[in-house]
Amino acid sequence: MPKIVDHEKRKIKIAEATWKVIVDEGLEQATVRKIAKVADMSVGSLRHYFSTQSELFAFSMKLVSDRVRNRAENKYYDGPPLESMQELLSEFLPIDEERRIEMEVWMVFSSKTLVDPNLKALSQEVYDEMHRASKMVVEGLIESGLASQALNKSLEIERLYALIDGMALHGILHPDRFSVEKMQTTLKYHLKALCN
Amino acid sequence: MPKIVDHEKRKIKIAEATWKVIVDEGLEQATVRKIAKVADMSVGSLRHYFSTQSELFAFSMKLVSDRVRNRAENKYYDGPPLESMQELLSEFLPIDEERRIEMEVWMVFSSKTLVDPNLKALSQEVYDEMHRASKMVVEGLIESGLASQALNKSLEIERLYALIDGMALHGILHPDRFSVEKMQTTLKYHLKALCN
pLDDT of residue A96: 96
Q: What is the mean pLDDT of chain B?
A: 94
Q: How far is A24 from chain B (nearest CA, A)?
A: 7
- Phi and psi torsions of A179, nearest 5°: -75, 165
Query: A124–B177: do the CB atoms touch at under 8 Å?
Result: yes
Exposed e or buried b for every residue in A22-45, given b needs 16+ CB within 10 A?
bbeebbeebebebbbebbebeeee
Domains belonging to chain B, first-starting first, are 1-51 (1.10.10.60), 52-194 (1.10.357.10)
Residue A1 predicted with pLDDT over 60:
no
Residue B20 predicted with pLDDT over 90:
yes
Query: A127–B174: do the CB atoms touch at under 8 Å?
Result: yes
Q: How far is A148 from chain B (nearest CA, A)?
A: 13
pLDDT of residue B78: 85
Whole-model pTM: value is: 0.94
Contacts of B185 (CB under 8 A, 6+ apart): A155
CB B138 within 8 A of CB B156: yes
pLDDT tens across B125-147, in order?
A: 999 999 999 999 999 999 999 99
A187 Cβ under 8 Å from any chain B Cβ: no
pLDDT of residue A118: 86
Give the percent of chain A with pLDDT over 90.
86
Query: A170–B115: do the CB atoms touch at under 8 Å?
Result: no
Mean pLDDT of B158-166: 98
Closest CA to A160 of A181, A180, A132, A126: A132
**If pLDDT is split at 50, 70 and 90, which confidence band does A55 have?**
very high
B153 Cβ under 8 Å from any chain A Cβ: no
Contacts of B141 (CB under 8 A, 6+ apart): B81, B82, B85, B147, B191, B194, B195
Query: B113–A173: do the CB atoms touch at under 8 Å?
Result: yes
Give the percent of chain B with pLDDT over 90.
86
**If pLDDT is split at 50, 70 and 90, which confidence band does B76 have?**
confident
CB B15 within 8 A of CB B51: no
* From A23, A127, A189, residue closest to B152, measured CB to CB: A189
Query: A165–B163: do the CB atoms touch at under 8 Å?
Result: no
Query: A108–B111: do the CB atoms touch at under 8 Å?
Result: yes
**If pLDDT is split at 50, 70 and 90, which confidence band does B5 have?**
low
Q: How far is A80 from chain B (nearest CA, A)?
A: 23
CB A194 within 8 A of CB B189: no
Q: How far is B5 from chain A (nearest CA, A)?
A: 34
A185 Cβ under 8 Å from any chain B Cβ: yes
User: Which of A115, A148, A183, A187 has the highest number of chain B CBs within 10 A, making it the mutation to test binding with B?
Assistant: A115
Between CA B165 and CA B162 the distance in angstroms is 5
* From A127, A128, A159, residue closest to B186, measured CB to CB: A159
Element (H, E) at A169: helix A153-173
User: Which of A20, A22, A24, A27 has the highest number of chain B CBs within 10 A, making it the mutation to test binding with B?
Assistant: A27
Query: B186–A23: do the CB atoms touch at under 8 Å?
Result: no
* From B107, B111, B166, residue closest to A166, measured CB to CB: B166
pLDDT tens across A4-49, in order?
A: 668 999 999 999 999 999 999 999 899 999 999 999 999 999 999 9
Mean pLDDT of A80-88: 92
Q: What is the mean pLDDT of chain A?
A: 94
